[in-house]
Structure formats: structure tokens, C-alpha cells
Structure 1
Amino acid sequence: MFRLTTFKPLNLLKQQSKLSAFNFVRYQSNCANKVNIVNLAKLPESAGINNIIYTSSHEWLAFNKESKIGYLGITQYAANHMGDVTYVELSDVEEVIEAGESIGSVESVKSSNEIYTPYKIEVLENNMDVLNDKPQLVSEDAMGDAWLLKVKVLEEQSEEAVLDLEKYETYLKGCDE
């Protein structure tokens, strides 16, 4: 769960996106001119991803329900509110992290934010090879190239603990008010 601290509210656009492509999962709200879409084509091993969840604290987790392998990151909504990301720190490979615990932090010119996992996970890979050199990629492409962790989901939480696409979209509409 991402705890976002901003210093001033952003005016968010309420336009509907008409994007659809076979390797995109459609997210229907626009936030600060950037559409929240998990770009499966930019995830290293996206074949078989068949479940995407969101949290009210603006993380996403895309994974295969059978193999339990997937990717975790923050939404573009969160990235837009943070501003220019300057530093990323992530959990180590093979670390097991309980649901609700921190997987690392993202620092920006506006704030420093802990990032949390919605499910119990094992870290298979982190994206630090890319994000050490280009932390600003989180600001630019939080839903694709700037994925944070490749994970194995060890234990899912109840459906009430996470949001599906429709519930996340409804939640974001409330954030705009």
C-alpha cells in the first residue's frame, strides 16, 4: 500500500481513454494526462498474466493465477502525484514479505514514500538494474518499464482487501473530488 504525501492537489482530467490493444489491460481513468494502463508488452515475462489487482493506496500487481508469478508496481496516478522521482530502493531477491509490509521506497522532489505489498510475496527479481540509473522512469512509465518487483504470490488476501479494475476506477473518481 502506497502512502502518498503531496504538497498540492493536482487537477486531474476526467477524459475517457479509447486505448485497447491485445497486450494492454485497459484502465479507464486518465490522471494528469497519463492513462493508467499496465503495459504487459513492457513486462519481461508477461505471457500468462491473467489477474491484475489494484490497491486504494495505488499499487498494482499483475500475475498468473496458476503459477502465481507476476510483477508489482505503483500506478501512474501515484507517480503523477509524487512528481519527479529521484531515488528508488527495493527489497532484495529471495526476500519473503508479508501482506501489508514495505517492499521499498520511492523518493521524489515532493516526498518520500514507502511502497507496500497487498499480498504475501517472495521477491524473485527487482528492477534496480534499470531504476538505479533511471529513477525518473517511475514518473514516466510506472505501469510498464518501471515495474518494481517480479514476485511469486505466496498468499492472497480476501477480495475485500484489493480492488479490481472497476472498483479502482470508482475509487479514483472519488479522489478527484
Structure 2
Amino acid sequence: MIRTLLLLTALLLPTTALAVPAGVPLWEDAATGMDQEEVLARFPEARALAPDEGDQPKRPEQGKERVRIPEVEIAGERYRAGFYFLEGALARVVLEMPRAEGMPFSRGLKLTEEVRDALTQTYGEPASKDSSGKGYMVEWRDGPTVIRLVVLTQTYKVKKFEIIYEAAPQD
């Protein structure tokens, strides 16, 4: 009996593990659990993406980009805001800086420091930092929200520059 319950629990975990808690503040007025129509109403400059458009993360738990603001200015820099949905509910917001792609490493490093410092002023000291030959990641916690600055590099150039807002993992 106990073995059966454990087996059933193990089988159910993968489907329930993808669930995102509702109401976690993300970027601006976005919050986890919002549906696509709510996001479009909250951000009039946003547009819905066709099913074959948008960035699709390699891991399903990151959701699929269904809504995008093509250009938003933050602290003098232009970003593209992608809204990622999981099972119809907003799971994360990714701010991507397209102009950083292909930027020489030295300029990318300066830009990374500026953005990191601005995020630190907003969210306090980072919860973690990690750097390697492949890039740099800094993570902040703001209550139930995780904010990540992710800069990927390849052959001395910036490959990707993102700020990611998502719910903190539940224990």
C-alpha cells in the first residue's frame, strides 16, 4: 500500500512540478499566473506572438514566449521584453538587450557592471554570483521573486544579455 502511494506520488510529481505559483510579482506590473489577455491589457505596447514565433527555451519548465514588447527603454538602454507562459499562465519575463549580441567582451563587461550596479541599487546585494569562461550570472531575491542578470559570451564577444524575472523555487 505504501509502495503504491509512493509510486503514484513519484509519477504525479513531474506534472505538478511545472505549476507556477500565482501572484508573484515579476517585472513592472506583470505577475505569475496572469493569462495572455491580462498581459496584453496591462501592456498596451505588447503584441501576441504567432505559435511559430518567439524564443522557445530548451527546458519546458521555462515556458514558451507568447507575448512580446518589441522595444522598451530602461535606464537609457533598449530591451525586448518577452513574456513566457507555462500551461496558459505567465511564468517569467525576460528582458533581452539585442544590441549587446556580438559586442566585444570589454564593452560587454562594462555594460554588465553598469546593469549589475543598477540592479543592486534596486534589489540590494546579490544572493549569488557566478562567472566562468562561458559567461556571468548574478541573482537577486526580492521576496518571492528571483531576478537574474545573465550574460553569455563566446569567443570574446557577448552572445546573450538578459535580465530574467521569475518566481523563486518553492521548497
TM-score range, shorter chain: under 0.3
Query: Where is the strand percentage greater, Structure 1 or Structure 2?
Result: 2
Q: Which has the bigger relative contact order, CA under 8 A and spacing at least 6?
A: 1
TM-score normalised by the chain length of structure 1: 0.25
TM-score normalised by the chain length of structure 2: 0.26
